[in-house]
Amino acid sequence: MRLLNIMVIAALILAASAVYKIKFDSTLQAEKVAKLRGELRHERNAIAALRAEWAKLDRPDRIQGLAERHLSLQQEKPTQFGDFDHLPMRPPPVPPSEDPIGAMIGPASPQTTGSLPPAVRR
């Protein structure tokens, strides 16, 4: 009976130490989660600040002022635009070929091949 009591007490001590270890690990993980949530909140705030700054820099009136200050642009004149009468005629359509790449390269004579010329017999 005494041996059984010692074994039960040892089992209780092992169980208590296992529960304590699990509690300690879960507390450690909870601290890591809290730290990551804080970092995530910080990064989201930084993204929001950058988006606000981008919206401020991307305003059309600001870009217009920069363009007027730093670029020497002139107003367009109605004479700068042409009409369809001044466009060149469209080229005639090319008939479809079985080998479109070969048609781009140009016509080749039927005797021309990619092989070496025949050897001259003596």
Q: What does the pLDDT average to over 90-115?
A: 68
The whole-angstrom separation of Cα 14 and Cα 8 is 10
Note the helical H segments in 1-122: 2-57, 60-70, 100-105
pTM tops 0.75: no
Q: What's 98's DSSP letter? A: S
Instruction: With a cut of 60, say whether residue 112 has pLDDT above it.
Output: no
CA distance 69 to 61: 12
Phi-psi bin for 99: left (phi > 0), alpha (psi -120 to 50), beta? beta
* Confidence grade of residue 78 (pLDDT, cut at 50, 70, 90): confident
Q: What tens digit of pLDDT does each residue of 21-55 get?
A: 999 999 999 999 999 999 999 999 999 999 999 99
Please state, in angstroms and rounded to a whole number, the distance separating the CA atoms of residues 105 and 100.
9
